[in-house]
Structures are given as structure tokens and as C-alpha cells.
């Protein structure tokens, strides 16, 4: 008979980012304790405090962790092993995303011809290499939990299946090529892990969210919404139910898939 665990954990990378709090809440609502990791320890402490007020009976650990450095990841792994924590879920959420701001500017947003190799390496190291390293290190723990089926969820983007629409941007601004390459690469990583560890009962899927409203420049928002059949950007919490589905046994017959939730943007 399969053993039932009531003390399962989920680990989130890049938890201090825009969607980190929403992903965390979705996992807490799914009856997980959570481990939050990010380079920004100050933001993690704030998020931990907010979540503990709402979920006082849950265990919420935080770690300053660099997804680009295997030794940093292994420090968290060693904690998990020492505490005999049963890790069921890994959410690879860490990424560098150049977003349009309220004043219609964006970092690392120059022409393709002028891309700096340092910026290229930085983006791919965090978003793609980081997901690979975390999957490698934490996946090794998860496949050893013989009576718990592991789950890896890679957070991709609608730009994992479509190209940026460059005329959305103005004044020499372009969505950096690194973002598209990283998110397309995550889909390949998802399929690889799903087939590599299938006999170990570890599933891997990806979620590709569309653009999230975060008080971007009004003109940009108007132009972007015209590209979305539903006519609007997503709210911060609008992906919670999808995360719950993909990170629980509700999706027990799904692996190697990319779920696109973008208001219909990618169908045009």
C-alpha cells in the first residue's frame, strides 16, 4: 500500500520575483510546506512574514540561493537531507525578465545587433542553466522518495511558443533575444526531464503565462491588449489554479507538456 504523507514540501526558485508570492500561495493552498529561494534575502523575509500571517500552521523556510552556482544549490539540498524533508515539488521560477516600466523603458532592450555577450550569458545562466542545475540537484532527492511521485514545474512564457511582437515597443526598445531563447529552451528541458526520469515516477511540465499587468506604461498596455483576444493582461493571481493543478496529483497523467495560458495571444 502506498504511504500517505501529510508533510510534503515544495521548493520555489526566484520566489522574490513578480509571481513568486502567487506561486507560493498556490502551493500553500495545495497543502504543501514551502522552501523559498532567491538572491534577494530581504524580499524573501518580507514574503515569509506575509505568508506566515496567512498560513500560521505551515512551515516556510527561506534561503539565499544562486541558481547559477551548484554549490549554492547543494547547500539547500544538504539542509533538506539533514532535516529529512520530503521534497515533492520543484518550481523553476528564477529568470531575468526585462519588463516595460511605467515610464516606457526597459533594461537590456537594445537592438539584436548590439547584444552584449555578458548580458546574454547572465540571462541564460539564470533562466536556463539555473533550471537545469536545480532539476539535477533537487531531482536526485525527489527520485529517491520511492513512495512519493515527484513533480518539476518549469515557468516558461507565451514567448516560449511565439516570437515577441517588436512593434509593441518604441524608441529603440526591443524584448531581449535572451528571454525568447531561455523560455524556448525551458520547453526542451521539460521534455527531456519528463522522458529521462519517467521510470522514477517524476513528472515534469511547464507553464507558459502570458503578460501580467504590473502598472506598465499605459500606451504599451493599450497596444499589447489589442494583441490578446481576451483584451487584457493577466492579474498577478490568475495563474494560481494552474500551478495547483500542475503541482498536485490532479495532473497525475500529464508529463512533458507545456500549458499556455495567455488570454489567447498565441493563437493569432
Distance (Å, rounded) from C-alpha 105 to C-alpha 252?
42
Give the C-alpha distances (Å, rounded to integers) separating 196 from 55, 76, 205.
Answer: 36, 24, 13
Task: Tell me whether strands 60-64 and 258-261 are parallel, antiparallel or unpaired.
Answer: unpaired
Task: Express each pLDDT in 188-209 by its tens digit.
Answer: 999 999 999 999 999 999 999 9
Would the pLDDT of 2 be above 50?
Answer: no
Q: Which residues have a Cβ under 8 Å from the Cβ of 177 and sit 6 or more positions away? A: 112, 115, 120
- Mean pLDDT of the chain, nearest integer: 93
Q: Residue range 233-248: average pLDDT?
A: 97
201 vs 211: CA distance, rounded Å: 32
- Compute the average pLDDT of residues 116-135: 96
Contact status, residue 255 vs residue 203, Cβ threshold 8 Å: yes
Average pLDDT, integer, range 75-85: 97
In CATH, the number for domain 8-267 is 3.40.50.720
Radius of gyration of the chain (CA): 18
> pLDDT tens for residues 150-170?
999 999 999 999 999 988 887
| Residue spans of beta strands (DSSP E) within 141-240 | 150-155, 202-209
Model confidence, pTM? 0.94
Q: Tell me: pLDDT of 134 over 90.
A: yes
Residue with cell 518604441: 170
Q: Where are the domains of the chain?
A: 8-267
Torsion-angle region of 231 (φ positive above 0: left; ψ -120 to 50: alpha; else: beta): left
Nearest residue to 34 (alpha-carbon basis) of 65, 64, 13, 5: 13
Amino acid at each position: 500500500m502506498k504511504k500517505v504523507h501529510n508533510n510534503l514540501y515544495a521548493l520555489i526558485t526566484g520566489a522574490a520575483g513578480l509571481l513568486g508570492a502567487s506561486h507560493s500561495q498556490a502551493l500553500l493552498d495545495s497543502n504543501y510546506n514551502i522552501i523559498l529561494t532567491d538572491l534577494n534575502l530581504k524580499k524573501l523575509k518580507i514574503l515569509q512574514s506575509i505568508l506566515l500571517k496567512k498560513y500560521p500552521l505551515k512551515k516556510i523556510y527561506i534561503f539565499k540561493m544562486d541558481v547559477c552556482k551548484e554549490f549554492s544549490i547543494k547547500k539547500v539540498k544538504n539542509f533538506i537531507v539533514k532535516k529529512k524533508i520530503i521534497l515533492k515539488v520543484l518550481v523553476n521560477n528564477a529568470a531575468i525578465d526585462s519588463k516595460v516600466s511605467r515610464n516606457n523603458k526597459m533594461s537590456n532592450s537594445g537592438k539584436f545587433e548590439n547584444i552584449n555577450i555578458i548580458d546574454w550569458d547572465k540571462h541564460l545562466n539564470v533562466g536556463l542553466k539555473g533550471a537545469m542545475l536545480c532539476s539535477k540537484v533537487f531531482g536526485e532527492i525527489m527520485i529517491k522518495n520511492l513512495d512519493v511521485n515527484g513533480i518539476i514545474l518549469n515557468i516558461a512564457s507565451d514567448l516560449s511558443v511565439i516570437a515577441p511582437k517588436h512593434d509593441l515597443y518604441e524608441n529603440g526598445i526591443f524584448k531581449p533575444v535572451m528571454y525568447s531563447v531561455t523560455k524556448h529552451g525551458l520547453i526542451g528541458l521539460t521534455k527531456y526531464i519528463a522522458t529521462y526520469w519517467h521510470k522514477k515516477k517524476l513528472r515534469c511540465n511547464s507553464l507558459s503565462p502570458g503578460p501580467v499587468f504590473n502598472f506598465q506604461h499605459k500606451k504599451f498596455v493599450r497596444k499589447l491588449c489589442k494583441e490578446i483576444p481576451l483584451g487584457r493582461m493577466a492579474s498577478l493571481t490568475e495563474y494560481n489554479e494552474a500551478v495547483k493543478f500542475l503541482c498536485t496529483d490532479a495532473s497525475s497523467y500529464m508529463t512533458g507538456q507545456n500549458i499556455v495560458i495567455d488570454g489567447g495571444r498565441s493563437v493569432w
